[in-house]
Amino acid sequence: MAETEDLVGLEPYSVDSDLFKEPMKKRRRSDRDQQFWAFPSMEQSALKEYEKLESRTRRVLSNTYQKLIQSIFLDDGIPNGVKYLINRLLALIEKPPLDPIYIGLLGSTGAGKSSLINAIIQQAMFLPVSGESICTSCIVQVSSGCCEQYEAKIHLLSDQEWKEELKNLTKLLHGTEELGEEADTWDRDDAMDEATWKLQMIYGTGAESRKYEDLLRAKPKGKIPTSRIITLKAEEAGELSIKLDPYIRTQRRDRAEESAETRIWPLIKYVEVTLPKSALIPAGVVLVDIPGTGDFNSKRDEMWKKTIDKCSVLWVISDIERVSGGRAHEDLLNESIRACQRGFCRDIALVVTKTDRLHLPEYLRERQVGNQAIQSHREAVLERNETIKLERSGILKEKLKRKLPADSKVLEAAHLVYTVSAQEYWQQAFLTEEETEIPKLREYIRKSLLDKKRRMVTKCVTEAFGLLVLADSFSSTENLSNEHLLMSGLRHFVEEKTELLEKAIEQCFAHIERPLQEGVWMARTSYRRILGACLVRSRGNQGFHQTLKAVCLKHGVYASRTLARIDLNEAITRPMYDQLDPVFGGIFRTGKATGSALMPHIDAFKHSLQEKMAEIGIRNGWKYDSYKKSFLIQEISAILGGLEGYIIRKKRRIYESLTSSVQNDLKPCYEEAAQITGRKACERMKDIIRRGVERQVAEGMFERAQERMQHQFQQLKHGITEKVKASITTMLTLASSQGDGLYKDLADVKSEYKEMEKLHRSLREVAENAQLRRGMQDFLMGMSPSKAGPPK
């Protein structure tokens, strides 16, 4: 059976494959109610209304689906229109109630990510926090479910993924064998230490000296399940924490003995933790503890980037002592801004942790703000918090303005900086719970979920109404005499508008040409300086040889658990991105219409089609709420709404095309440099890299990167127009086939249509009720007396 395109989700499906599939069973009422526990009563009321609206919509869809299946089950031939309708019904029935909201906590070791998550979920010491050991060693996802137990799933690298890493680790370690006496004059660097440690953990002492083929035959010291997944369950949080600790805590390297669980740490890819229903964190939110620099393993490093990109919110975590002048959090802020460009991220904030740490005499001596005398430690902390918010918000806003369009939603955020104290949240020695700002983060989480639920239910009810209009219209005979003529004219109109859309997209994407050209020039004039800064160390080559070898083995990228991430490809293309970023963000912005923005052009195309439908409806004598007009207008919104997800998925590849192009061109010189051993190997590797870059630049490396990005934009334009043409054509064919005798034996779904019509009208009422509740809540909050600090 030929594959076709899902007209809304724009994902391929087989027309017949799921035709007689049973839809998923409804969730139990108790399960639905439990997910509201984390919300105050007013927000609970709004959520329950949306949930009730969604539940009734799914019931109507399920009834319609069952009726249609029963009426066509014995038919030999099923018309395409019915196949389309049934597949659309099933897709909407089985669509998840809410796609998770991923909130990424991005920070370097010791910044306080795990402590912050523990405070937010109200489970002290649940995730390991910094002590003598380097803590959370992999990506950890924490979410709340409707289960009664605490559960963790530990996902391991596949056998093939570990073999790939093992090969690179042994190459890295054995590259020093031919250095002879020169090796003794060098310090062991980070890359070599980590490679040694990983092999010893898996295979025991002395593994760092064994060959790759020998280690392949060796038996690991820890027990590795064939499924590559370890599942842990517990009745209490503390019990699961004890079980989980050895897997996600990176232990000290000088320990004499390690447990079997600890020994498989290098194989862990990521961990999923599910909490029972929570009165603080709603189901549908996933808090992600993301290590700050990625990983030497290719699969883990790829997952690091993809995890950042799938987060709709990124909180960059930096402790109070490193927030001013610390390079680590600046690098992570830059990574977050890039995620806004290439991924799903819509909101960025800086979360300053450990704000309770303040030496009062020193603070008073250096204090430069305010005339009012500081009377207590609490007053000093709160004053410093406000100063940090003011200063860092201004700096972050300026950084965002340089990289993103001036009207980006992230710049309109109520809070760009939070100042939190997890320790004071538990102890409340001198700060109130509210002053620790943990409740403020929870409130942000709740509001994000409530807003997403509102948008999702609105879209679901609207799409469902369009499908019921189509189902009910199959038996209508309204004004069929001039149907062919009208639909023919509509097709011609759609063709013209599609051509105009294609030209508009072409003009939109043309805005990228000038910054790309300027970026090429900037990259050509600065690559020697940038490359030199990456390759030259203040201590000379001491402690850098194996790190550079690791960079070459991974084709220009090295991620360490203790050092800043090294990416030569990103570094030498950064001048191109500096020119590109504001324009790129402008193209993929949503909301405000500008000449360079893509989505407003698609919205304008949608509105022009919908206006044409209304015009044809009036000329054809359709009533204002006619079946035909309603279906066409609703389905156009559904079809073009699905394009946004397609565009977001494609823009990541477009954005990364500059660095991937440069990496691909430099791959031969990286591979050559990685093979260098013997005396002065470090200088020889540097020389190979320099000469390789010079040769590629002379042969047009930056120009090729420019051409590849422009080609990616052209592919996106072609993809959008082709999907629009195919989807709209199919929809019009379905609409014009009404009354052709193919549908006369379909079940009567008029009662379902009437019910869906009522639900569609009730959307406005639910939205108005939610707005009234928000107004009442704001009023009551304004009337509440402010809380004083704890007694001295």
Domains assigned to the chain: 101-157+226-453 (3.40.50.300), 510-736 (no CATH)
- Comparing 77-91, 130-144, 603-617, 679-693, the range with the smallest average pLDDT is 130-144
**Residue 567 CA: distances (Å) to CA of 229, 281, 458, 540:** 31, 36, 43, 19
DSSP tag of 134: B
Task: Return the top range by mean pLDDT from 249-253, 273-277, 527-531.
Answer: 527-531
Q: What tens digit of pLDDT does each residue of 540-549 get?
A: 666 688 889 9
Q: Which of 31-40, 618-627, 642-651, 666-675 has the lowest mean pLDDT?
A: 618-627
Please determine, for residue 639, whether its predicted confidence score (pLDDT) is greater than 80: no
Q: In angstroms, rounded to a whole number, what is the distance separating the alpha carbons of residues 134 and 248?
A: 10
User: What's the token pair of residue 135?
Assistant: 């803590």
Q: 147-161, 167-181, 581-595: which has the minimum mean pLDDT?
A: 167-181
Give the pLDDT score at 608. Answer: 85
Per-residue pLDDT, 131? 54
Answer whether residue 736 shows pLDDT above 80.
no
Among the ranges given (156-165, 197-206, 401-410, 474-483), the one the predictor scored with the smallest mean pLDDT = 474-483
Region 670-696: mean pLDDT is 93
CB-based burial of residue 792 (10 Å sphere; 0-12 exposed, 13-18 middle, 19+ buried)? exposed
Q: Give me Rg for the CA atoms of the chain.
A: 30
Average pLDDT over residues 602-622: 74
What is the rounded CA–CA span in Å between residue 329 and residue 316?
Answer: 7
Higher pLDDT, 174 or 522: 522
Say how far apart CA 288 and CA 139 lie, in whole Å.
Answer: 7
pLDDT by residue (tens digit) across 452-489? 888 889 888 888 888 887 777 665 555 444 455 456 67
pLDDT in tens, 284-299: 899 999 887 777 777 7
Q: What's the whole-number mean pLDDT along residues 361-368?
A: 81
pLDDT tier for residue 497 given thresholds of 50, 70 and 90: confident
What mean pLDDT, rounded, does the chain reach?
80
pLDDT number for residue 670? 96
Dihedral sign for Cα atoms in the order 319, 322, 325, 329: negative
DSSP 588: T
Q: How confident is the model at residue 199 (pLDDT cuts 50, 70, 90)?
A: very high
Cα torsion through 85, 91, 97, 99, rounded to 10: -130
| Max mean pLDDT range (49-63, 163-177, 360-374) | 49-63
Closest CA to 333 of 349, 313, 352: 349
Q: What's the pTM?
A: 0.85
Phi, psi of 317 (to 5 degrees): -100, 125
707/178: higher pLDDT: 707
The pairing of strands 347-353 and 313-319 is parallel
In DSSP terms, which residues pair with 5 in a beta bridge? 12
pLDDT at 647 over 70: yes
pLDDT tens-digit series, residues 109-138: 888 899 999 999 998 888 877 554 555 668
Q: Is the pLDDT confidence value at 76 over 50? A: yes
Mean pLDDT over residues 23-40, rounded? Answer: 55
Least confident of 432-441, 466-475, 703-712, 751-760: 466-475
- pLDDT exceeds cutoff 60 at 591: no
The three-class DSSP label of residue 417 is: strand
